[in-house]
Structures are given as structure tokens and as C-alpha cells.
Structure 1
Amino acid sequence: MTDTWKITLPCTREEGEDLAGEVRLASGREPPVIATEEADERDPERWLLTAYVEDAPDDVLIADLLALAPSATRADMLIEKLAAQDWLTMSQAGLEPITAGRFHVYTAAHADSLQPGQIGIRIEAGQAFGTGQHATTAGCLTILDRLANEGRDFTDVLDLGTGSGILALGIVKRWPQAKIIGSDIDPVSVDVAIENVEVNGERVGRGAGEIELVAADGFDHERLRARAPYDLVTANILAGPLVALAADIASVMAPGGTLLLAGLLNDQAADVLAAYEAAGCRLVDTHVAGDWPTLMLVRERN
């Protein structure tokens, strides 16, 4: 294996979230593998940007990375040469497993952490957002597990902004006969989600117990409306897109359908909720983990 270089620099939450989709560099170069994460859960505005490259970073790449995180300076940047090894395996070793209800999310490096009675979801660290580490993903999984324990049944499901496919996988494992479609604005995420479905022993497809995956900006894909109405919709994205998509999301939900919204901060919840109430939805529960609420709503029956 070749040597790998790791470049780390601080960024703001807004900058980090902007990098969850397709990344374009100012120089026009092919972007390196980039990951962003919270630096400290107690301060949700402080994030870290990490890039991995196989050649020593030159001035052009450094300028490109600083353009992605304009709040940082060259002095803030840490550049490390890593030993010749598989950086992906190494990075996965640092992702500790998380448990949300009966769900247990882990990487290959922690396969032995799965305990009897738990529902395992193996998600590898990579280019797609959503390894289960973030409080928003864990919040959605916690509510999904609770709904299953309460005997709720869902047959037609949309996972909007599927990322790594983690929520779609949780849904198919709790409701094995459900027909699920997941979408993401980033085609790379869709490819990664397909791989994760296969790694977890589930099926890609359009039938019962299968997950269909498409690349789409919002509802800009015919399959998302063709498969409506949905009795369950999950959307773990960002507050701005959640507000912008409120009317579209409500329009594809079945009357009485359940909606999980995440990716917003506590101080954004009122604006998000107002948009969905105006679209005919009603709040029925809130799960809060630190600064990150997960809202559960139902589509009012007309």
C-alpha cells in the first residue's frame, strides 16, 4: 500500500454540513476523500474537516481545502504522513459502536461488539454521511425501534437523504415486508448505500423487503412520487431543506402517516415545525439528544 497523508483543519458546523453532499474543489481537481464531524458534542458549532490523499499535499490542494472551510487559516491546518496502511480500516477503528434501542451500529473493526438480541447494522466509514455516530441518526433509530416495539406496521416507506442507508436498513430489519425507497442528492452516497445494503444481507429492489435507492435533489426523481403515498417518511437532512421540502413531503404521505424529521438544532425546531404544521402535519413526540431533536409527526387525516 502507498503512503497516505491526512490533513485536518477546524471548520464551522455550516461549513461541515455543506460538505455532506458532492464536493467540488476550486481548482477543478478530483476531490480527495473528505470527512466532517463535530469536534465536541458540547459545542455543536465546532466541526473538523479531515481529508486523506495518497500524495504529499501541494499548495493547490491546501488552497482548495481552505476554500472549503474559509473560517480556518493555514496555521490551523495539521498535515500528517501516515504509515503505509489502509487508512479506511484505521479510521473505522476509531468509530466506536453505538446502540439505539435494539439497534447496534458498528464497523467491521468492531464486529465482535454485537450482542445476542441486538439488531446489527454494519456501516463502514467512508464517503457517505451517516455512520450512526451522530445524535440525529441515533435519535431516528431510537424512535423507529420504539415504534416497532409498540406494534406499529409500515408497508411503504421513504428515506429522504438516505446517506449511508442506515435508516433504510434499520427499517427493513424491523419491518421485513416493507417496500422502501431511499434517495440522496449525492450519487456517491447512493453507491455507498447500495454496498451497505448488500453488506448487511438485505436486497436492493422494488419489492417487499427490498430497498430501492436513487439519486435525487429533493423530489426531482419520478420514482419518489410514483411510489407514493408513504405511511412512513424519514428525513435526516438539515433545517433549511426540511423547511423548503415541507409541502412536498406532506403531499406524498398517506393520511395518518408517520414522519420523522432530524438534522436540526433545538433552536431551529420551531421554524421546522411551523412549516410542517402549515402543510397539514401534527407533532406527536420529540426525542432530544443534547442540541439535536428528532421530531415525530403525523399527517392529519382530511
Structure 2
Amino acid sequence: MTEISWKLTAHAPKKVVQAALLAHDEIEDWEPELVIAGRELSEDRPEEWVLEAWYPREPGAAQTDALSGLFGKSAPTFECAELPSADWVELSQQGAQPIRAGPFCVRTPGFEPDPQAINFLIPAAQAFGTGQHQTTAGCLEMLGRLKRTGALARDIADIGTGTGLLGFAALSLWPRARVTASDIDPVCAPVVEENAALNRVALGPQPGALVMTIADGMADPLLEMRGPYDLLIANILAGPLIEMARDFAAAVHPGGNIVLSGLLAEQQEADVRRAYRRAGFRFVSRIQNDDWSVLWLRRRRRGR
């Protein structure tokens, strides 16, 4: 008998769906079987988006209420349909065209490598950080910018690594560096190991390799032992970025670089920049990718 999975769909304007996705990211006890994603309906209607959710059983009121709660008081109507259980994975891969960002190409299975780029193979139906989102693509582009300007990195931290992609990318640009990747979600550890094997990325504590830890913030023995860092990458959310500004400052060498993403340009960038200026960083460069900003900051060598 074919197993059945269920899909819930709701349509809303782009900013409404993006706000719902941000609300989802901030919920620590989200039901892990309820997988959600947002996307535009088509290239010719970029402001019309759809939020899709997949569930292995027929969803009940609890699942629908959880999704509606992401939208606050103006929740759209969700349509429910059943489909073969594996289809949501296959559908998530369809249309996931290779992403070119800076010197990198990120592709899903079924697409050929780009001979003009540094290639990474990252299955789309995984943890956050496949290159499809503007924040991840912007970080890839910013890492390429750092490298072009001659930035050096011997010890690198990738905080909120997700799939491991940004840590892999940094290691490809600084191949003798020691990379420490962390995420709060335990599911990311096997995902990073799988992707490291797919992309022939060495794992371990030695130079030229990446080591993974599950950690909430910087208060982690491995992160503390391997710091301070020449380069810290944090593609998370604006709220945690602001809260962790001083922790990140303590973890970065004077003169070291930090790349921040996961913040909306109009609503959140000013607050993030203000927090890091107070923590002892100066602005170097920014990239705006759609509504999202990526910031490159450098820790001051001396106090103000």
C-alpha cells in the first residue's frame, strides 16, 4: 500500500509569507514533522507568494492552528490535499535551479557542475542553507568579496550552519583554515556530515577541515577552545544577531572579520549595525539581495 502524505497550501503577499517564515524560525518547539517553505508563484508575479506545508498524516486542527498562528490575526485560508509521501521531497527539488553567487555554484542532484565556478552539491530538501534563499546566496557572494580583497582567515566559525554550505564555501577559499560549524538544531549534524561526504570536504579538527558542534550561541566548549576567530559567519536572524553582538566581538580577533545575514534591509539593518558598532565593529561593506541585507564588519584593533 502506498504511503500517503498531506500538503497544506495558503496564498498571501510576499511580505506576509516572509514574516510567517521568520516567525516560524523563532519557534523552538515547532513540530518537526510539519515541514514548511515559502516561494513566489511565478517570475511574472513576484509579489504573490505561497506558503506550503507537508505532513506525513492527515493534518488536524493542531497543525492548521500552528500554521495560522504564524500569520497573527490575518491568517489566510489553508487548502489541504493528499499526495504520495515522497512527493514533497521531489517537488522541493523541482525548479531548484543552480544558484550562482560570487565564485560559487550551488546545485541540487540532477544538474551538472559549472566549470567556471566552485561547485557544491546540496540536496534541496534539507535544513536551511541550500543557497536558494537570498541570505545564503548573499553570504556566498560576500565571502567571495572578502577573498578578492585579500582577507586572511586561519580560524573560521560558521554559526547557524544549517547544511554546512557556508563553512564549506569558506574552507574552499581558505583551504588551510580550521573551520568550526555550529547549529542549535541537532538534525543539522548528520546533514552536515552527509553534505561533507557529497562535496569531499574533510571533517576533523585539523587545518583544512571542518568540525561540527551542536550549540546554542557561543557558550560552547568547542567554540571557545578553537577561538578567537579571524572570520565569523552568522546567517541567523536579526534578533539573535543583536543579542549576540558582544559574544561575537569576544570571539573575533581584533582586526578580524564578521559576516552577518538573516536581516531585513529596511526594518532591521540599522538596529543590527548599531549593536555591532557599540560592540566594537566598523562597517566595511554590504550586499542587498532582494529585501535582505548581508553585512561585512571588521572588529576594531583599538577602542574608540
TM-score range, shorter chain: 0.7 to 0.9
Matched, 1:295 2:295: yes
For residues 22-171 of structure 1, what are the structure 2 equivalents within 5 Å? 24=29, 31-39=32-40, 48-71=50-73, 73=75, 76-83=77-84, 85-110=86-111, 112=112, 114-171=113-170
CA separation of 1:285/1:256 partners in 2, compared to 1, >3 Å: closer, same or farther? Answer: same
1:2 paired residue number: 3
- Alignment deviations for residues 151-192 of structure 1 (CA, whole Å, 9 cap, x no partner): 432110011111111110111112111100111111112332
Partner Cα separation in structure 1 for residue 233 and residue 46 of structure 2: 22
Partner Cα separation in structure 2 for residue 171 and residue 79 of structure 1: 41
Partner Cα separation in structure 2 for residue 84 and residue 139 of structure 1: 33
**Deviation, structure 1 residue 127:** 4.2
Q: Which amino acid aligns with 1:3?
A: I
CA contact (8 A) 1:13 1:44 kept: no
Partner Cα separation in structure 1 for residue 156 and residue 39 of structure 2: 29
Q: Which amino acid aligns with 1:50?
A: E
CA contact (8 A) 2:56 2:85 kept: no
Matched, 1:176 2:175: yes
Partner Cα separation in structure 2 for residue 227 and residue 46 of structure 1: 45
Q: Which amino acid aligns with 1:78?
A: E
SS for the counterpart of 2:213 is: strand
CA contact (8 A) 1:89 1:109 kept: no
Aligned residues with identical type, % of pairs = 39
Matched, 1:17 2:22: yes
For residues 134-283 of structure 1, what are the structure 2 equivalents within 5 Å? 134-267=133-266, 268-283=268-283
SS for the counterpart of 2:120 is: strand
- Larger mean CA deviation between 231-240 and 1-10 belongs to 1-10
Partner Cα separation in structure 2 for residue 87 and residue 18 of structure 1: 22
Partner Cα separation in structure 1 for residue 247 and residue 47 of structure 2: 29
**Deviation, structure 1 residue 43:** 11
**Deviation, structure 1 residue 65:** 3.4
User: What residue ranges of structure 2 are gaps of 5+ in the alignment?
Assistant: none
CA separation of 1:158/1:290 partners in 2, compared to 1, >3 Å: closer, same or farther? Answer: same
CA separation of 1:63/1:289 partners in 2, compared to 1, >3 Å: closer, same or farther? Answer: closer
CA contact (8 A) 1:102 1:145 kept: yes
CA separation of 1:185/1:229 partners in 2, compared to 1, >3 Å: closer, same or farther? Answer: same
Partner Cα separation in structure 1 for residue 253 and residue 260 of structure 2: 16
CA contact (8 A) 1:2 1:84 kept: yes
Q: Which amino acid aligns with 1:246?
A: A
CA separation of 1:214/1:194 partners in 2, compared to 1, >3 Å: closer, same or farther? Answer: same
SS for the counterpart of 1:76 is: coil
CA contact (8 A) 1:197 1:203 kept: yes
**Deviation, structure 1 residue 288:** 1.5
TM superposition score normalised by structure 1: 0.87
Partner Cα separation in structure 2 for residue 250 and residue 78 of structure 1: 46
Partner Cα separation in structure 1 for residue 234 and residue 46 of structure 2: 20
Q: Which amino acid aligns with 2:277?
A: E
**Deviation, structure 1 residue 95:** 1.5
**Deviation, structure 1 residue 132:** 0.7
- Alignment deviations for residues 82-106 of structure 1 (CA, whole Å, 9 cap, x no partner): 2464431331123221101220011
**Deviation, structure 1 residue 2:** 2.1
RMSD of aligned Cα (Å): 2.6
CA contact (8 A) 2:160 2:183 kept: yes
CA contact (8 A) 2:17 2:51 kept: no
User: What residue ranges of structure 1 are gaps of 5+ in the alignment?
Assistant: none
**Deviation, structure 1 residue 265:** 1.3
TM superposition score normalised by structure 2: 0.87
Q: Which amino acid aligns with 2:238?
A: A
Q: Which amino acid aligns with 2:269?
A: A
Partner Cα separation in structure 1 for residue 26 and residue 66 of structure 2: 16
**Deviation, structure 1 residue 120:** 0.8
CA contact (8 A) 2:35 2:55 kept: no
Partner Cα separation in structure 2 for residue 21 and residue 106 of structure 1: 28
- Larger mean CA deviation between 280-289 and 49-58 belongs to 49-58
Aligned length: 295
Partner Cα separation in structure 1 for residue 194 and residue 85 of structure 2: 26
